[in-house]
Amino acid sequence: MTILDFMPPTTVSSNYVNGQWVPSASGVTFENRNPANTDELIGVFQQSNAADVDAAITAAAKAYEEWRLVPAPVRAEMLFRAAQIIAARKEDFARDMTREMGKVLNETRGDVQEAIDMTFYMAGEGRRMFGQTVPSELRNKFAMSVRQPLGVCSIITPWNFPMAIPSWKIVPALVCGNTVVFKPSSNTPLSAHNFVKVLIEAGIPKGVVNMITGDADVGTAMTTDPRVSVVSFTGSTTVGRTVNQAAASTFKKVHLEMGGKNVVMIMDDANLELAVDGCLWGGFGTSGQRCTAASRVVVHEKVYRKFVDAFIGRAKTLVVGDGLDPKVDMGPSNSDAQLQTVMRYVQIGRDEGAALALGGRRLESGSYAKGFFHEPTIFADVDPKMRIAREEIFGPVVSVIPCRSLEEAVAIGNGVEYGLSASIYTQDINRAFQAMRDLYTGIFYVNAPTIGAEVHLPFGGTKSTGNGHREAGVAALEVFSEWKSIYIDFSGKLQRAQIDVEQV
């Protein structure tokens, strides 16, 4: 049986529930269009409702009873096959992703590669998932701990990494023995379909993975149903707070990965050419649409003007356009709504008195006319109290802020509500270690931008960026499993812990 046997019979893409491609109970669909050229229709997808969520959760709850008993190494073998399939189709999946998400092809290849890496990595955990064995305080008694699955997991993902982020959540959930109801962003449902079809082809049984497309009403139903044990959400802090509150009454485990306002600190001894390279990639990669984007650059006053001039000069050379064009460095915003947000913050920056050093305009003539394009934008001489230096913009807008010392740079870095990623450029190892100690973030880089996380280390942030959980690495297993401590007494008599301890 091949992937073609599982594809919907029409050009309208269906939900995937209990092993079948089915239309939404709502009878309503929505269009998915290319943000670089809205004349191009990518596909038509289901606008699902609460009845669809109920059907998906019912299927997942039923499938859980059998899936949890499948040995973890066997579950892992299916995931290993999935990783192999994704690797074989990497280029096709990357091109689909560029068409629906907008970022340039090299970046979508990286997105797909991240899904490959995560799936291979978590497949390996199927033969590990280590517990502990410890000595008992009593004779003839054995003590150990094991991981156990939780049940049905609601997975809600954003549009900026439409294959990588689903893999971060779905794959560890599956290897731990859970079942999944998955709602991707309505802006990037095709990449989600591609990922789910791979899991089906790899042998994941019916009901174990279910996918429904739709808007916030679907997400609300997924977070409030009492049959759901885990909610894993990536998106804005505002929506994440709502998700957390909705899930609280039924005591679900909730994993939140939310906003960021990340800082690059450039000291007076930094390699400025390297720092400019990093700030270009960190600030304008993915058109700034990363939770880890380097949207703030704090520069020591001794090298401030030299850096700003070089940064502006290099940013002027960036080519904006359709991400499928190999000459393009930066694609469009993902949607008109996101573009409008960028434009609104550019005006806020102007109104606040920041110096608009580069860009600041929507691109809308010629080849840009049918897309959501914006110039790479740099504000200089920004006060760290300005909104553009404190609030997440999620677009190609970078604020450059002067400082007089490392201590001041660290204070500026910590002076926002988020705590996801930070970096420092310096040749002084003492400064580097001081900064990595004092920045209260979940991720830190030295002589590199604020983006570039790898799948075998924990990913996540502090403060309003998250709620203490982490994705990736073995830390992901903590989200999708629970500990069970087990005591086996083979003494043949009652032994009372803490009471019958022998004194020698």
pLDDT higher than 50, residue 103: yes
Residue 2 has pLDDT above 50, yes or no: no
Does 56 map to a domain?
Answer: yes
Known catalytic residues are 257, 291
Residue 503: per-residue pLDDT: 75
Average pLDDT, the chain: 95
End-to-end CA distance of the chain: 66
In a domain, 282, yes or no: yes
Does one domain contain both 184 and 324? no
Q: In this structure, what CATH number is given to the domain that contains residue 151?
A: 3.40.605.10
pLDDT at 502: 82
Let me know whether 197 and 153 are in one domain: yes
Residue 9 binned pLDDT confidence (cut-offs 50, 70, 90): very low
Q: Are residues 208 and 343 in the same domain?
A: no
Residue 334 and residue 476 in one domain: no
Decide if 1 is inside a domain.
no
CATH at residue 269: 3.40.309.10
Name the nearest CA neighbour of 450 among 269, 275, 278: 278
How much is the pLDDT for 4?
39
Percentage of the chain lying above the pLDDT 70 cut: 98
Q: Mean per-residue pLDDT for 379-383?
A: 98
- 270 and 248 both lie in a single domain: no
Inside any domain, residue 400: yes
Residue 52 is assigned to a structural domain of this protein: yes
Q: Which amino acid is at 101?
A: M
> What pLDDT, in 10s, does the model give residues 434-467?
999 999 999 999 999 999 999 999 999 999 999 9
Q: What is residue 10's predicted lDDT score, i.e. its pLDDT? A: 40
The answer to whether residue 387 is domain-embedded is yes
Q: Which amino acid does the sequence have at 147?
A: R
Is residue 393 assigned to a domain? yes
Q: What is the mean pLDDT of residues 469-485?
A: 96
Q: What is the pLDDT of residue 7?
A: 40
Q: What is the pLDDT of residue 435?
A: 98
**Residues 270, 200 share a domain:** no
pLDDT at 5: 43
Contact (Cβ atoms closer than 8 angstroms) between residue 288 and residue 380: no
Provide the residue type at 458 as one letter: P
Mean pLDDT on 401-414: 98
**Residue 3 scores a pLDDT above 80:** no
Answer yes or no: is pLDDT of 8 > 50. Answer: no
Is residue 457 situated within a structural domain?
no
Residues 365, 242 share a domain: no
Of 7-11, 70-74, 93-97, which range is least confident? 7-11
What's the total number of domains in the chain? 2
Helix axes 72-88, 164-175, angle to 10 degrees: 160
Q: What is the pLDDT of residue 11?
A: 63
Nearest to 356 by CA among 383, 389, 340, 378: 378
Q: How far apart are CA 257 and CA 220, in angstroms?
A: 17
244 shares a domain with 291 = no
For residue 216, the model assigns a pLDDT of 85
Q: 1-5, 10-14, 210-214: lowest mean pLDDT where? A: 1-5
pLDDT in tens, 191-222: 999 999 999 999 999 999 999 999 988 989 99
21: helix, strand or coil: strand
**What pLDDT shows up at residue 12?**
81
Q: Are residues 138 and 165 in the same domain?
A: yes
Average pLDDT over residues 287-292: 97
Checking if the pLDDT of 276 tops 50, the result is: yes
Mean pLDDT computed over 354-381: 97
Q: Tell whether the model's pLDDT for residue 1 goes beyond 90.
A: no
| Judgement on whether residues 194 and 303 belong to the same structural domain of the protein | no
21 pLDDT higher than 70: yes
248 and 193 within one domain? yes
pTM of model > 0.85:
yes
**Which domain covers residue 174, as residue numbers?**
14-33+41-258+466-485
> Quick one: 190 and 306 in the same domain?
no
Which tokens belong to 13?
């893409």
